[in-house]
Amino acid sequence: MTFGSFRHVAGTAAAIALALGLALPGPAHADNLADAQALLKQGQLQAALERVDQILATKPKDAQARFLKGLVFTELNRPADAIGVFTKLTEDYPELPEPFNNLAVIYAQQKQYDKAKVALEMAIRTHPSYATAHENLGDIYARLASQAYDKALQLDSTNATAQNKLAMMRDLMSLSGRPVGRPPATAVAAATPAPAPVASPAPAPAPAAPNAKPAAAPGSVVPAPVAVPAPTPAARPAAPAPVAAASPAPAAKPAAEPDGSADVAKAVERWASAWSNKDVKGYLSQYAAGFQTPGGAPRAAWEQERTQRITKPGKIDVDIADLDVSVDGDKATAKFRQHYRSANLNTSSNKTLILVRNGGKWQIQQERLGR
Amino acid sequence: MGARVKKLALRASLLGALGLIASPVSIADRFTLPGALNPLARPEPILAQVFGDIEVLRIDRALDRLDAMLQSFPNFRLGHLIKGDLLLARGRPLATFGNADYAPPDRVAELRDEAIARVKAYRDKPPANSLPRALVQLQPAQKHALVVDTLRSRLYVFENDHGRPRYVSDYYITQGKAGAEKMQRGDRKTPVGVYFVTDSLPREKLGDFYGSGAFPINYPNEWDRRLGRNGYGIWLHGTPSDTFSRPPRASDGCVVLSNPDLDEIAQRLQIGVTPVIIGNGIEWTSAGDWEAERRQLSQQFESWQLDRDSGMADRLLSHYSPRYAGEKANFAQLSRSLRDAAQRTQAPVRNVAIFRDPGKDQMAVVTFEEDGRNSKGRPTVVTKRQYWIVEDGRWKIIHEGQA
């Protein structure tokens, strides 16, 4: 869950009050609100709820406090209560986009995409430049499309479609006078204590579909992790496990294999760990100059696309298992199972890398799905 | 990218993939739908409007129409596919028609074929006032006739207006996986020829697969048998409850209609009476040409009748092909029997129906009734059927027997 925009909150309350023509809250009110926000941020949800209720006891109409209460309910996994709070806010303040947006996020969580769509369209109507709502709406369209395709083709794509999470708004920013946009995002994600059923650490859910390509086209090279669902071991270490440990096959071989398969295994490991560490430069350097880009795209375009994906906010874990390396002179084939986990995607798929040796360094020439 | 450019790209990828980009066709002078309760209660007009909306970049209106249509036909898969495309187009550019990347390509292709078949049938209706050449003359008892065009995936219903066919309605149909011109058992083809509905199987006696009912036809008919065509169980039937319609080529040879369509047709069918004429391509002729051909075939049949009643065996025999085979096994036997019978007074002929076979052979099927006697010698009405072919530029009977 992202609280990236929380620092705006204290200043916002006054602005809201002004904008809504409410009595300017006294300092005590502001403190209480800040406390409640801090408690929410720390995951002390019950305490946050109590504090919000204290504020509302004296100021039952307070928009900021009610908004916060909706967030707390959401975190408490009480979607019906959260919907009640946000719905009432949309009725009382139809000019605010945030309650509409958050309503949509909860509806989407419940797979009520049509309702989510209506709420987001309302959010955009109130605030045409409201980026979060636009992005969320794009995602809703993709999900609705996917549902329609399922009905058309009698498929169940719930596993094939990356279930990107929509971005919940954390603040009534549209009233703060600040530029409207997504909260800055981020590294705070790791600190998120509570089970967050709705909120997303990644601020920009891309439309689901581009991520959702499974290995449909045989032989096609797909650079991104594919949405082949596989149960992820719960206790998987965050960092990629050393390749040798994860794969009995190479481990069984003599350490100093003359054909260099140990070096190949190390190269694969470097590749996976650069990816996990979001080290774009290190990651890209694992690819040979003659790397065959997917679909023969220009190298620069491919690099840009990879950079974009890898640097997307949120943690990435790439694990390699069952590595099988075969070396033929200056060419090697590495086959393995790739476990990929990011904010939006949790997949496990078979992958094959063709590597070439350039001046003693093994680099990737081809990357494809399947073994 | 501007919204308009985006929509243009959407139009190109959707309609382009269907081969449907064309100036809108006016259907004012085409068949109208007097028989259908409400023209908009069918998918085709709505689909045509949806594609029309996409054509003029009114994507929202297209989606609204689709939603309304899917309310009426929740299992109309093609509708869901197009809806998916229109929704997806809001997030990213479309590559083609049916952009469900994770879907098996053949399933998408089937729906694309259905879209093309439905919309083309709607846009390119047969010209108004034209008549199917196959329906030469209907018996008074035949209230309706069905004409199936497997090329267009379409079934046309005509009513009998004093022996003359008058268009009532038309419907999307599914034919055999392997197309038309059935030859043998298991070839998954739909037969081509002149058939009749032989039975009505109520839905209670059928599995869900056949939908709201089934109407077997008499494939293989006498002509089919003579040509060595075999197989059985060719029905008109409906669709399973979870399926509004099936792709154009999906059956094992049956003609499949959506359940509402089958229900509508069922009211018009008479068992043992209603003709079902199936062609892989149906010829439509002007009223004038139709009239001329009808006169020619009627005269041909009347001349057979006159010669039969003349008592002159040679004149009667001249109407039969040397390749004749039928109730009297061959031409020689027929010849003998005609000489024996020539002196007898012939029974009058009633209720003549004449249909042209839309298949490759120049053939006409004549059905009529005459008074005869049953096995116990009691008077009865016998229905007879003759197959006429063109031989040396003349119509000749190649098969004759009780129907």
| A153/B103 touch (CB, cutoff 8 Å), yes or no | yes
* Chain B CB contacts of A149 below 8 Å: 80-81, 84, 98-100, 103
Longest dimension (CA), chain A: 80
**Cβ of A134 under 8 Å from any chain B Cβ?**
no
Determine the distance in angstroms separating the CA of A218 from the nearest CA of chain B, rounded to an integer: 12
| A154 touching chain B per CB within 8 A | yes
* Nearest residue on chain B to A113, alpha-carbon basis: B87
- Asked if B87 reaches chain A (Cβ–Cβ under 8 Å), the answer is yes
Do A207 and A337 reside in the same domain of the chain?
no
Per mean pLDDT, which of A318-327, B36-45, B75-84, B145-154 is the most reliable? B145-154
Token pair, residue B340, equals: 């024996």
Chains A, B: CB contacts within 8 A come to 83
Same structural domain, A256 and A318: yes
More confident call, B372 vs B208: B208
Domain-located, residue A162? yes
Q: CA nearest A214 in B: which residue? A: B102
CA gap B164, B294 in Å, rounded = 10
Q: Return the minimum-mean-pLDDT range out of A128-132, A276-280, B16-20.
A: B16-20
For the cut 50, the answer to whether the pLDDT of residue A196 exceeds it is: no
Lowest mean pLDDT among A74-78, A274-278, B144-148: A274-278
Tallying the residues shown for chain A, one arrives at: 371
Do residue A130 and residue A259 come from a single domain?
no
Q: Give the pLDDT score at B24.
A: 45
Closest chain B residue by Cα to residue A145: B84
List phi, psi (to 5°) of B369. -115, 145
State whether B262 and B299 are in the same domain: no
Mean pLDDT of A81-109: 93
Q: Which of B100, B4, B16, B126 is nearest to B58 (CA)?
A: B4
**What single DSSP character describes residue B190?**
B
Among B100, B123, B146, identify where a domain stops: B123
Asked whether the beta carbons of B338 and B309 are under 8 A apart, the reply is no
Domain count, chain A: 2
Band of residue B341 on the pLDDT scale cut at 50, 70, 90: low
∠ CA(B367), CA(B369), CA(B374), 5° rounding?
125
Q: How far is A133 from chain B (nearest CA, A)?
A: 13
Q: What is the DSSP string of A280-312?
A: HHHHHTTB-TT---GGG--HHHHHHHHHHHHTS
Pair A27, A101 in one domain = yes
Q: List CB contacts (< 8 A) between A347 and chain B.
A: none
- Residues of chain A in contact with residue B80, where contact means CB-CB under 8 angstroms, are 148-149, 151-152
**Nearest C-alpha of chain B: how many angstroms from A315?**
25
And the tokens for A133?
């709502």
Position A138 pLDDT exceeds 60 = yes
Shortest Cα distance, chain A CAs vs residue B208, angstroms:
17
Q: Which domain CATH number covers A269? A: 3.10.450.50
**H/E segment holding residue B109:** helix B105-123
Domain residue limits at A200: 6-211
Provide the domain count of chain B.
Answer: 3
Q: Which of residues 20-39 of A touch B (CB under 8 A)?
A: none
pLDDT single digits (tens) B163-174 = 889 999 999 999
B84 touching A, CB under 8 A? yes
Residues B313/B318/B321/B322 CA torsion (nearest 10 deg):
70
> Nearest-CA distance from A132 to chain B in Å?
14
Which of B68, B99, B123 is the C-terminal boundary of a domain?
A: B123
Task: Tell whether B275 and B301 lie within a shared domain.
Answer: no
User: What CATH number is attached to the domain comprising B328?
Assistant: 3.10.450.50
Tell me the torsion sign for CA atoms B11, B12, B15, B20: positive
Tokens for A331, please give them.
């060419």
Is the CB of A151 inside 8 Å of chain B's CB atoms? Answer: yes
Give the pLDDT of residue A323.
87
Bridge partners (DSSP) listed for residue A319: A339
CB A345 within 8 A of CB A225: yes
Residues of chain A in contact with residue B247, where contact means CB-CB under 8 angstroms, are none
Is the pLDDT at B207 greater than 80, yes or no? yes
Which is more confident, B142 or A273? Answer: B142
> Could you tell me the CATH number of the domain that includes residue A116?
1.25.40.10
pLDDT at position A182 is: 38
Q: Would you place residue A132 in the very low, low, confident or very high pLDDT band (cuts 50, 70, 90)?
A: confident
Residue ranges of B 332-391 with Cβ closer than 8 A to chain A: none
Q: How confident is the model at residue B390 (pLDDT cuts 50, 70, 90)?
A: very high
**Higher-pLDDT residue of A162, A311:** A311
Query: In the prediction, which pLDDT does B343 show?
Result: 55
List of chain B residues whose C-beta atoms are within 8 Å of the C-beta of residue A124: none
Q: What is the pLDDT of residue A166?
A: 76
Same domain, B257 and B297: no
Minimum distance, in Å, between the CA of residue A160 and any CA atom of chain B: 7
From A139, which residue of chain B is nearest by alpha-carbon distance?
B91
| Greater model confidence, B338 or B1 | B338
Split at pLDDT 50, 70, 90, the class of A175 is low
| Strand bridging mode A331-341 / B284-285 | unpaired
Q: Residue A69 domain-assigned? A: yes
Residues A162 and A80 in one domain: yes
Average pLDDT rounded to a whole number, residues A240-266: 54
Instruction: State yes or no: pLDDT of A345 exceeds 80.
Output: no
Q: Considering the domain boundaries, does residue A197 fall inside one?
A: yes
CB neighbour list of residue A1: distance below 8 Å, 6 or more residues apart: A75, A168, A189, A192, A194, A196, A199, A200, A201
Encode pLDDT of A14-48 as tens digits.
344 444 444 444 556 667 888 898 999 899 999 99
Beta strands in B120-207 (DSSP E): 131-132, 135-137, 144-149, 154-161, 164-172, 175-176, 193-196
Last residue of a domain, one of B99, B123, B147: B123
Instruction: Inspect the interface and report whether the beta carbons of A152 and B111 lie closer than 8 Å.
Output: yes
pLDDT, residue A350, reads 74
Cα(B62)–Cα(B86) distance, integer angstroms: 8
Instruction: Evaluate whether A291 touches A365 at the Cβ level (below 8 Å).
Output: yes
Cα nearest neighbour of A205 on chain B: B91
Q: Are B76 and B217 contained in the same domain?
A: no
Query: Which pLDDT score is estimated for A346?
Result: 63
Question: What average pLDDT does this structure show over A244-273?
Answer: 64
Mean pLDDT of chain B: 87
Query: Nearest CB to A148: which of B87, B104, B107?
Result: B87
The answer to whether residues A103 and A194 belong to one domain is yes
Q: Given this model, what pLDDT does residue A183 score?
A: 39
Q: Write down the pLDDT at residue A23.
A: 43
Residues of B in contact with A144 (CB under 8 A): 84, 87
B42 confidence band (pLDDT: 50, 70, 90): confident
The answer to whether residue A218 scores a pLDDT higher than 50 is no
Statement to judge: residues A207 and A74 lie in one domain: yes
Highest mean pLDDT among A234-238, A244-248, A290-294: A290-294
What tokens does B49 get? 């409007």
Same domain assignment for residues A179 and A282: no
Closest Cβ–Cβ partner in A152, A157, A207 for B91: A207
Phi/psi at A35 (nearest 5 deg)?
-60, -50
| Confidence at residue A160, expressed as pLDDT on a 0 to 100 scale | 46
CA distance B176 to B153: 11
Residues B136 and B262 both lie in one domain: yes
Interface test with A, best of B66, B85, B87 (most A CBs within 10 A): B87
The pLDDT confidence band at residue B99, using thresholds 50, 70 and 90, is: confident
Q: What is the mean pLDDT of chain A?
A: 71
Q: What's the pLDDT band for B198 if we cut at 50, 70, 90?
A: very high
Q: Can you name the residues that pair with B235 across neighbouring β-strands?
A: B216
Per-residue pLDDT at B14: 77
Please work out, in degrees rounded to the nearest 5, the angle formed at the alpha carbon of residue B324 by the alpha carbons of B320 and B326.
115
**Residue partners of B78: CB distance under 8 A and separation at least 6:** A152, B43, B47, B111, B114, B115, B118, B245
Q: What pLDDT sits at residue B174?
A: 97
Indicate whether B151 and B270 sit together in one domain: yes
DSSP output for A52-100: HHHHHHH-TT-HHHHHHHHHHHHHTT-HHHHHHHHHHHHHH-TT-HHHH
pLDDT in tens, B222-274: 999 989 999 999 999 999 999 999 999 999 999 999 999 999 999 999 999 99
Do B272 and B363 lie in one domain? The reply is no
Does A155 touch chain B if contact means CB atoms closer than 8 Å?
yes
Judging contacts by C-beta atoms under 8 Å, the chain B residues touching residue A136 are none
B160, B278: one domain: yes
The answer to whether residues B338 and B258 belong to one domain is no
Which helix (H) or strand (E) segment holds residue B214: the answer is strand B214-216
Does residue A118 lie within any of the structural domains?
yes
Strand partners, B215: B236
C-alpha span between A51 and A44 (Å, rounded): 11
**For residue B248, what is the domain's CATH number?**
2.40.440.10
Identify the pLDDT of residue A55: 92
Going from the C-alpha of B397 to that of each of A310, B314, B327, B372, the distances in angstroms are 80, 14, 12, 21
Higher pLDDT, A144 or A233: A144
Residues of A in contact with B104 (CB under 8 A): 153
Q: Are residues A195 and A261 in the same domain?
A: no
Show residues of chain B in contact with A155, CB under 8 Å: 100, 102-103
A156 plus A11 within the same structural domain: yes
One domain for residues A158 and A295: no
Residue A66 lies in a domain: yes
Strand locations in B230-376, DSSP E? Answer: 235-237, 249-251, 255-256, 275-279, 284-285, 349-356, 363-373
Q: What is the pLDDT of residues B289-322, one digit of tens each?
A: 999 999 999 999 999 999 888 878 888 889 999 8
The CA distance from A156 to B17, in Å, is 25
Residues of A in contact with B77 (CB under 8 A): 151-154
Residue A155 within any structural domain of the chain: yes
Which region among A66-75, B26-35, B114-123 has the lowest average model confidence (pLDDT)? B26-35
Are B141 and B215 in the same domain?
Answer: yes
Which residue of A124, A139, A153 to mutate against B (max B Cβ within 10 Å)? A153
Kindly list the distances between the CA atom of residue B387 and the CA atoms of A21, A53, B394, in Å, as whole numbers in the listed order: 92, 91, 13
A215 touches chain B (CB under 8 A): no
* CA neighbor of B86 nearest in space, from B111, B105, B67: B67
For the cut 80, the answer to whether the pLDDT of residue A118 exceeds it is yes
**Looking at beta carbons, which residues of chain A come within 8 Å of B78?**
152
**Which of A149, A156, A158 would best serve as a mutation to test chain B binding (most B beta carbons within 10 A)?**
A149
Say if the Cβ atoms of B80 and A148 lie within 8 Å. yes
Residues ≥6 apart with Cβ < 8 Å to B110: B247, B248, B249, B250
Give the residue on A whose Cα is nearest the Cα of B76.
A152
Q: pLDDT value at position A6?
A: 27
Which of B1, B64, B102, B113 to mutate to test binding with chain A, by most A CBs within 10 Å of its CB? Answer: B102
Flag whether A223 is in a domain: no
Q: Report the pLDDT value the prediction gives residue B123, as an integer from 0 to 100.
A: 80
CB of A220 less than 8 A from some CB of B? no
User: Highest-confidence range of A93-97, A252-256, B101-105, by mean pLDDT?
Assistant: A93-97
Over residues A253-275, mean pLDDT: 76
In a domain, A94, yes or no: yes
**Structural domain boundaries enclosing B340:** 287-402
Are residues B146 and B101 part of one domain?
Answer: no
Q: How confident is the model over A93-107, as a mean pLDDT?
A: 91
Which residues of B are less than 8 Å from A214 in CB distance? 101-102
- Give the chain B residue nearest A157 (alpha carbons): B102
Q: Is A139 on the interface with B (CB under 8 A)?
A: yes
Cα distance from B72 to chain A (closest Cα, Å)?
15
- Read off the pLDDT band of A10 (50, 70, 90): very low
